[in-house]
Amino acid sequence: MIDYPPLDTSAPTFPSEADLVHLMCRHIPYIEQYWVDEDEEHGYFGTLDVNEFQPPGGPINEMIIRSLGDELRGYAALHQSAFFDPTLAGIEKPVLLDPHADGRIRQSIAIIALEDGETSLVIDWTVSDVALSLNEGFGVYIMNDFVNGNRVSISFEGGRRAIRGVGGRARVIETGSTWIKIAGCLGIETSGKQLLYEDAAERNTPERWRNLLQDRVFLRPEVNGGTVRDYACVIRQGRAGTRRIGHGVERLQTAQDGVRAYRFRSRTSDVIAVANFTPVSRSVELTGRSIDVPAMDTVLIKEG
């Protein structure tokens, strides 16, 4: 454990950008212990086989590796900050801190929460100039342990399952369905992509806790040329919202590169969401009208 000097949390400016960057720099050495260098500019997080990779921090499995990788991707902006301290972080690897370096992988995400309190939309448009060894999108972790009786019920088009938590059978269930209902209180549907459910079967939080099991709902998008992800997912919370799963998520053509539009059902009406991932304002024609979308922003249109 590194004995860092405490930050002054009573300061009127806390948490400033400098404070946040400082805290993130402190956390990098922990993540770094799982990193394996391949050369000066490339590396990877161990292996996906817990039986092969035993880092100084203890055993690690695929889910934790993925979690650390996702966490580290959040430091892309950190490396650009004037407050970044390579001495504190113990690292000066632009490629490690900024996986999108040189524009090789460009991911654009829009997350929209509706005012109805139950419906959210996630849009993911990712392009890559390099081949990806693993391409799994979306990702929602589902608790399946003593907190919910060690069992989660799921249903999807064409079937239903009772997923046992600890002591079950590790597997990935290919639902063949664009929607899934989980435990009667969470619903997910996509714009055409199959949803998969990963049954972990054993507790998979870090060794020091080792008391929770998390399953996972995710996608494996098909690669189309340089486009590795191009989809939307609607998430509905609560029992009433879950019952509304199955209305579908419709992709609308915008004739604008970098602009995505989807129609889906909210609690009270049909809604069109338009996301502009470009650095300039765009005007798109949808449903017989012109819609102006500011740069790097979203617009919601209620129908009916």
pLDDT > 90? residue 220: yes
Lowest mean pLDDT segment, chosen from 40-44, 68-72, 237-241, 259-263:
68-72
Q: What is the spatial distance between Cα 132 and Cα 46, in angstroms, rounded to a whole number?
A: 17
pLDDT at residue number 262:
97
Q: With beta carbons less than 8 A apart as the criterion, state whether 106 and 126 touch.
A: yes
Instruction: Give me the residue label for tokens 């009786």.
Output: 149
Give, as one character, the DSSP assignment of residue 57. T
pLDDT at residue number 183:
92
pLDDT at residue number 96:
41
Most confident residue range from 74-88, 127-141, 149-163, 191-205: 149-163
Q: What is the spatial distance between Cα 136 and Cα 139, in angstroms, rounded to a whole number?
A: 8
pLDDT > 90? residue 229: yes
Percentage of the chain modeled with pLDDT above 70: 73
Distance in angstroms between the alpha carbons of the first and the last residue of the chain? 58
Q: With beta carbons less than 8 A apart as the criterion, state whether 189 and 178 touch.
A: yes
pLDDT at residue number 67:
56
Q: What is the spatial distance between Cα 191 and Cα 189, in angstroms, rounded to a whole number?
A: 7
C-alpha distances out from residue 175 to 181, 196, 243, 272, 275, Å: 11, 6, 18, 27, 28
pLDDT band with cut points at 50, 70 and 90 for residue 166: confident
If you average pLDDT over residues 35-61, what whole number do you get? 55
pLDDT tens-digit map of 178-201: 999 999 999 999 999 999 999 988
Kindly state the helix (H) or strand (E) to which residue 236 belongs, with its residue range. Answer: strand 227-237
DSSP characters for 37-53?
ESSSS-EEES-S-TTT-
If you average pLDDT over residues 153-176, what whole number do you get? 91
Q: What helix, strand, coil percent values describe the chain, rounded to 5?
A: 15, 35, 45
DSSP characters for 76-144?
TTGGGSTT--HHHHT---HHHH-TTGGGSEEEEEEEEE-TTSSEEEEEEEEEESS--S---EEEEEEE-
If you average pLDDT over residues 66-74, what whole number do you get? 54
pLDDT at residue number 99:
44
Q: With beta carbons less than 8 A apart as the criterion, state whether 14 and 8 touch.
A: yes
If you average pLDDT over residues 82-111, what whole number do you get? 66
pLDDT tens-digit map of 230-274: 999 999 999 999 999 988 999 999 988 899 999 999 998 999 999
SS3 at position 88: helix
Q: Where exactly are the structural domains of the chain?
A: 17-102, 104-303
Residue 130, C-beta contacts closer than 8 angstroms, at least 6 positions apart: 104, 105
Most confident residue range from 15-24, 70-79, 226-235: 226-235
pLDDT band with cut points at 50, 70 and 90 for residue 48: very low
Q: What is the spatial distance between Cα 137 and Cα 222, in angstroms, rounded to a whole number?
A: 10
pLDDT > 80? residue 90: no
Chain centre to alpha carbon of residue 163: 23
Lowest mean pLDDT segment, chosen from 20-34, 60-74, 222-236:
60-74
Lowest mean pLDDT segment, chosen from 7-11, 37-41, 151-155, 156-160:
37-41
Q: What is the spatial distance between Cα 165 and Cα 254, in angstroms, rounded to a whole number?
A: 43
Q: What is the spatial distance between Cα 266 and Cα 272, in angstroms, rounded to a whole number?
A: 10
pLDDT band with cut points at 50, 70 and 90 for residue 130: confident
If you average pLDDT over residues 148-172, what whole number do you get? 89
- Please state, rounded to an integer, the average pLDDT across all residues of the chain: 80
